[in-house]
Amino acid sequence: MTARRWTIGELLNVSALYLKDKGVESPRLTAELLLALQLGLERVALYLRFDQPLQEEEVTGFRELIRRRLLAEPVAYIRGEKEFWSMAFEVGPGVLIPRPETELLVEQVLQIVRETREHADDRIRILELGTGSGAVAVVLATSLPSSEVWATDISSEALAYAGRNVERHGVSKRVHLLQGGLWAPVSPLGVRFDFIVSNPPYVASEIYDTLPAGVRDYEPRVALDGGEKGMQVVSEIIEGAPGFLARGGWLLIEMSPEQTEAALGIVAQQGVYDSARRVEDYTRRYRLVMARRT
C-alpha cells in the first residue's frame, strides 16, 4: 500500500487544527514557521507551493518540530532565531528571546535623539544593561551611525549569542560587549553615558512558577526573575544610574505595567532626575519608565 503524499497546503491545514486543539498559541503561524524551517523556505513561499507534494522524510522532520513545540519549547528556539525591529537575531537555550514590546526602548531613544540632537554626527554614548541576545544594542548601533554602545550581561551564554549577532549585523567596531552584573563591568571605564537602557529581570519571584511553561522551563531564569515584587534589579538601576549618566542623559527601563508607579516613586526619591514619565506599549499598558538626569 502506497503511503499518503501530503501537499504543503494539506499539511499546513491539518497541523494548524491539531495545534489549536492542543492549545498552542498562534497555531497557524506556528505551523507555517515550522514547515518553512523544515523545507528551508520563507513563509510566503509555502503559499506559492501550496499544492507541492512532500517527501516522507520532510513530513517526518516536520512532525519532530511539532513534537518539540508541544513540549512547550519556544518556536524561536526551535528555529534558532527571532525577528526584532525587522532584523533577524540568533537565539537559543541560555538567552532571553526578544519581545515586541522591547522595541519601545529603541523607539524612545530614537525619538529623543531626533528631538534634541542638532547634528546627526554628534557622538552618542549608550549603555545597555542586560543585553541578552544583543538585539537592542545592535538596533541602536545600526539606527544611530554616530553612536557607540556598551552592552553588558552577567551570562556568558547570552554574550556568546550577542557576539554572533553583533558580527552578523556588522557593528562590532561600535558595540562593546562586557560580562558582569549591572555596574561592575563599566565602572573602570570612566565613561558618562547619554543613554542607559535596560530590559532587566522584572518578574516577581513569588509568581515565577506560574509563568507559561515555554518561558519558565526554557528561558534563563536569571534574565527573568526580578526578586521580591520584581523590583530588585529595577531599583538598583534607578539608584545607580546617576553615577554613570552624563548631565542631560536619559535612563529608560522596561518593566511590568504594575511596577511603573513604584518605579516613578524611586526615581523621585533620588532627587537627581527630571522629566520622569511612563510610556505605554502597543497594548496601551504602561511598559516603560524614563527620566533625565539633571
- Residue ranges at the known binding site for substrate: 199-202
Query: Coil, strand, or helix at residue 144?
Result: coil
For 204, the grid coordinates are: 516577581
Please state whether beta strands 193-198 and 273-280 pair in parallel, antiparallel, or not at all (unpaired): unpaired
Q: Which helix (H) or strand (E) holds 17?
A: helix 8-21
How would you class 80 by CB atoms within 10 Å of its CB: exposed for 0-12, middle for 13-18, buried for 19 or more? exposed
Q: Tell me the binding residues for S-adenosyl-L-methionine.
A: 130-134, 153, 199
CA gap 112, 225 in Å, rounded: 30
Asked if 175 and 126 count as a contact pair (C-beta separation under 8 A), the reply is: no
Cα 83 off chain centre by: 9
Q: Tell me the binding residues.
A: 130-134, 153, 199-202
Q: Determine if residue 150 is left, alpha or beta; phi over 0 gives left, psi from -120 to 50 gives alpha, anything else beta.
A: beta
DSSP 237-279: HHHHGGGTEEEEEEEEEE--GGGHHHHHHHHHHHSSEEEEEEE
